[in-house]
Structure 1
Amino acid sequence: MASHMPVNHPLRPIYRIVGGLSGLYMIVFGVLGAIQTGGEAPLGIGVGEVLLQGTNLANSLLSIAIGALVVLGTVIGRNADTLAYTYLGWAMLVIGMLFLAITRTDANVLNHTVNTTIVWFVVGTLLITAGLYSRSAPVRREAATSH
Structure 2
Amino acid sequence: MASHMPVNHPLRPIYRIVGGLSGLYMIVFGVLGAIRTGGEPPLGIGVGEVLGQGTNLANSLLSIVIGALVVLGTVVGRNADTIAYTYLGWATLVIGMLFLAVIRTDANVLNHSIITTIVWFVVGTLMITAGLYSRSAPADRSVATSH
Tell me the TM-score normalised to structure 2 length. Answer: 0.97
Identity %: 88
Output the CA distance in 1 between the equivalents of 2:41 and 2:91: 25
Output the CA distance in 2 between the equivalents of 1:142 and 1:128: 21
Q: Does structure 1 residue 132 correspond to structure 2 residue 137?
A: no
**One-letter code of the match for 2:100?**
L
SS at match of 1:137: coil
Partner of 1:38: 38
Partner of 2:114: 114
Deviations 1:102-124 (A, max 9, x none): 00000000000000000000000
Moved over 3 A (4+): none
Deviations 1:15-74 (A, max 9, x none): 000000000000000000000000000000000000000000000000000000000000
Q: Does structure 1 residue 47 correspond to structure 2 residue 27?
A: no
Tell me the TM-score normalised to structure 1 length. Answer: 0.97
Written as runs of structure 1 = structure 2, the 5 A alignment for 1:1-147 is: 1-142=1-142
Unmatched runs of 5 consecutive residues or more in structure 1: none
CA deviation after TM superposition for structure 1 residue 80, in Å: 0.2
CA deviation after TM superposition for structure 1 residue 141, in Å: 1.6
Output the CA distance in 2 between the equivalents of 1:137 and 1:111: 41
**One-letter code of the match for 1:90?**
W
CA deviation after TM superposition for structure 1 residue 81, in Å: 0.2
